């Protein structure tokens, strides 16, 4: 009788071990999977007349279109990322400095899956501030705005 009860327990353990050790067909989640928020705020001087043009695209080709943001306003992108391995968002920014008849702009990477970048964003929220002298990332880890980019033009 004792051997009879041991056999089902042995079979149950053997099957469980096989099931748990077999490779899963589901894609593994990346180390930083989850919901993300990217905000680009127009903090340019010159008041409401200083319009910032923002045109963003994802590395995979998703085009978010052109948006015109007044001073003090922000452009926001929300997305869910199951595997944060190669996700990137690039944005082209343009604005005119009317007092000097000069244009500024360029293409800038506003999101990537680099560990130190995600840490600056608190692994969920990346807030950018566009200012006259460049583009700043609000570092949630250090609780300060850090100049990330100079204007390309």
**Residue 143 pLDDT:** 86
Pairwise CA distance, residues 40 & 54, whole Å:
9
Lowest mean pLDDT among 20-24, 90-94, 103-107, 131-135: 20-24
**Residue 98 pLDDT:** 65
Name the E strands within 1-101.
34-42, 52-58, 63-69, 74-81, 89-97
Q: Is 101 exposed, middle or buried (0-12, 13-18, 19+ CB in 10 A)?
A: exposed
- Half-sphere exposure at residue 54, Cβ-oriented, CA atoms within 13 angstroms: 29
Work out the mean pLDDT of the chain and round it to a whole number. Answer: 80
Give CA separation, 83 vs 5, 136, 152, in Å.
Answer: 45, 26, 31
- Mark 135-152 as b/e (b = at least 16 C-beta within 10 Å): bbbbbbeeeeeeebbebe
Comparing 88 with 8, which gets the higher pLDDT? 88
Per-residue pLDDT for 26 more than 60? Answer: no
Going by pLDDT thresholds of 50, 70 and 90, the confidence category of residue 101 is low
Which domains, from first to last, does the chain contain? 36-149 (2.60.40)
pTM: 0.74
Task: Give the model confidence (pLDDT) of 73-85 as tens digits.
Answer: 999 999 887 777 7
Query: Mean pLDDT across the stretch 120-140?
Result: 92
Lowest mean pLDDT among 13-22, 50-59, 101-110: 13-22
Comparing 86 with 30, which gets the higher pLDDT? 86
Going by pLDDT thresholds of 50, 70 and 90, the confidence category of residue 66 is very high
- 20 contacts 110 by C-beta, under 8 angstroms: no
């Amino acid at each position: 009788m004792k051997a009879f009860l041991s056999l089902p327990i042995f079979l149950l353990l053997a099957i469980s071990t096989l099931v748990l050790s077999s490779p899963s067909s589901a894609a593994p989640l990346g180390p930083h999977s989850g919901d993300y928020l990217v905000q680009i705020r127009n903090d340019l001087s010159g008041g409401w007349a200083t319009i910032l043009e923002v045109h963003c695209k994802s590395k995979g080709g998703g085009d978010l279109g052109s948006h015109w943001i007044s001073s003090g306003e922000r452009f926001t992108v929300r997305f869910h990322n199951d595997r944060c391995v190669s996700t990137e968002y690039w944005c082209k920014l343009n604005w005119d400095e009317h007092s000097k008849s000069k244009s500024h702009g360029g293409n800038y990477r506003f999101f990537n899956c680099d560990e130190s970048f995600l840490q600056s964003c608190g692994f969920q929220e990346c807030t950018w501030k566009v200012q006259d002298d460049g583009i700043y990332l609000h570092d949630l880890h250090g609780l300060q705005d850090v100049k990330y980019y100079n204007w390309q033009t």
